[in-house]
């Protein structure tokens, strides 16, 4: 059984980013989630290439890059060069999603597609066989620390069913409001990877929280 944790550095201390990334290196974290927000696709701006490059410089774990930006095609190559292991684009930002996914793969990255809380899983029907990852958003993207949307469990099981139906190898990742109270239930519904920002970085012992989420 694949139970992975991808802590989001959106909730890290940017004045001590190297320290926080080293904490993740020494924890049971599997990936490091890097949230890129452009202030257009979502109502918030996070950070861009310089911070992603710092993460790459210090991380010993794969960078799981989540692009919450319009026209992601314009920047895929730069994020691949910045060291992304996986590149996840938002379905709602991609009118030519199949092409975008092919480009991500040609760049040598794992291809992920995120769906917002209002987007039905069925929209992935004709792309899921090509994906390495489906990211089910469990909050409306844009901010850390938001409340988990309960409908996510249903969407995770629908995604799992679609993956089986289409013989896809995609992993299911969940992002937003993930904590100790919902992690076990998300894995049970079929999630493989849990993203966690505030629950990890607000914990008194972040690396113990990562282990708790991984073994929930």
Catalytic pick among 20, 35, 38, 179: 35
Burial zone of 96 (CB within 10 Å; 0-12 exposed, 13-18 middle, 19+ buried) = exposed
Q: Residue 68 belongs to what H/E stretch?
A: strand 63-68
Q: Residue 35 belongs to what H/E stretch?
A: strand 32-37
Under the binding rule (CB under 6 A), the answer on residue 86 touching ligand DX5 is: no
119 binds, among Zn ion, ligand DX5, none (CB under 5 to 8 A by kind): none
Under the binding rule (CB under 6 A), the answer on residue 66 touching ligand DX5 is: yes
Under the binding rule (CB under 6 A), the answer on residue 56 touching ligand DX5 is: no
Helix %, strand %, coil % for the chain, to 5?
40, 20, 40
Give catalytic status of residue 175 as yes or no: yes
Count of beta carbons in the 10 Å neighbourhood of residue 164: 10
Binding-site residues, please?
8, 33, 35, 66, 142-145, 175-177, 197-198
Q: Which residues are catalytic?
A: 35, 175
Residue set of the binding site for a divalent metal cation: 33, 35, 66, 175
Instruction: Give the interface with ligand DX5 as residue ranges (CB under 6 A).
Output: 8, 10-11, 33, 35, 66, 139, 141-146, 175-178, 195-199
């Amino acid at each position: 059984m694949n139970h992975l944790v991808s802590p989001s550095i959106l909730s890290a201390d940017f004045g001590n980013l190297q320290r926080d990334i080293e904490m993740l290196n020494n924890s049971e974290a599997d990936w490091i989630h890097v949230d890129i927000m452009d202030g257009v696709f979502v109502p918030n701006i996070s950070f861009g290439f310089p911070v992603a490059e710092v993460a790459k410089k210090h991380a010993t774990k794969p960078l799981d890059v989540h692009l919450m930006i319009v026209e992601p095609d314009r920047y895929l190559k730069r994020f691949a060069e910045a060291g992304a292991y996986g590149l996840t684009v938002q379905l709602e930002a991609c009118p030519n999603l199949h092409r975008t996914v092919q480009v991500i793969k040609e760049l040598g990255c794992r291809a992920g597609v995120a769906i917002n809380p209002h987007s039905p899983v069925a929209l992935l029907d004709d792309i899921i066989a090509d994906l390495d990852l489906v990211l089910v958003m469990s909050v409306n993207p844009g901010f850390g620390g938001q409340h988990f949307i309960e409908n996510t469990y249903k969407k995770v099981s629908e995604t799992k069913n679609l993956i089986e139906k289409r013989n896809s190898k995609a992993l299911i990742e969940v992002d937003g409001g993930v904590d100790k109270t919902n992690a076990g239930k998300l894995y049970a519904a079929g999630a493989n990877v849990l993203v966690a920002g505030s629950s990890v970085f607000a914990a008194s012992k972040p690396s113990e929280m990562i282990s708790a989420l991984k073994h929930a």
